[in-house]
Amino acid sequence: MIQVYLVRHGETLWNAARRIQGQSDSALTQKGEQQAHQVGERVKTLGITHVISSDLGRTRRTAEIIADACGCDVIYDPRLRELNMGVLEQRPLDELTEEEESWRRTLVNGTEGGRIPEGESMSELAERMQAALNACLSLPEGSRPLIVSHGMALGALVSTLLGLPAWAERRLRLRNCSISRVDYQQSAWLAPGWVVESAGDISHLTEHAMDELQR
**CA distances from residue 172 to 32, 119, 122, 143, 199 in whole angstroms, order as listed:** 21, 22, 14, 27, 8
State residue 156's pLDDT score.
Answer: 97
Count the neighbouring beta carbons within 10 Å of the beta carbon of residue 139: 16
Residue 182 DSSP symbol: E
Q: Give the closest residue to 155 by CA, choosing from 90, 82, 104.
A: 82
State residue 208's pLDDT score.
Answer: 72
CA–CA–CA angle 70, 73, 77 (5° rounding): 115
Distance between CA atoms of residues 181 and 23, nearest Å: 24
Distance between CA atoms of residues 105 and 100, nearest Å: 9
Distance between CA atoms of residues 67 and 77, nearest Å: 15
Provide the whole-model pTM.
Answer: 0.96
Distance between CA atoms of residues 205 and 109, nearest Å: 29
Express each pLDDT in 162-175 by its tens digit.
999 999 999 999 99
State residue 79's pLDDT score.
Answer: 98
Count the neighbouring beta carbons within 10 Å of the beta carbon of residue 189: 4
Q: Are 105 and 174 in contact (CB under 8 A)?
A: no
Distance between CA atoms of residues 52 and 75, nearest Å: 5
Distance between CA atoms of residues 106 and 179, nearest Å: 26
Distance between CA atoms of residues 193 and 182, nearest Å: 10
Express each pLDDT in 53-99 by its tens digit.
999 999 999 999 999 999 999 999 999 999 999 999 999 999 999 99
CA–CA–CA angle 204, 154, 134 (5° rounding): 110
Positions annotated as catalytic residues are 9, 82
Domain boundaries, the chain: 2-214
Which residue numbers in the chain have pLDDT < 50?
212-213
3-class DSSP assignment, residue 162? coil
Q: Which CATH architecture has domain 2-214?
A: 3-Layer(aba) Sandwich (3.40)
State residue 213's pLDDT score.
Answer: 45
State residue 210's pLDDT score.
Answer: 67
Distance between CA atoms of residues 9 and 214, nearest Å: 15
Which residues neighbour 94 within 8 Å (Cβ) at sequence distance 6 or greater?
18
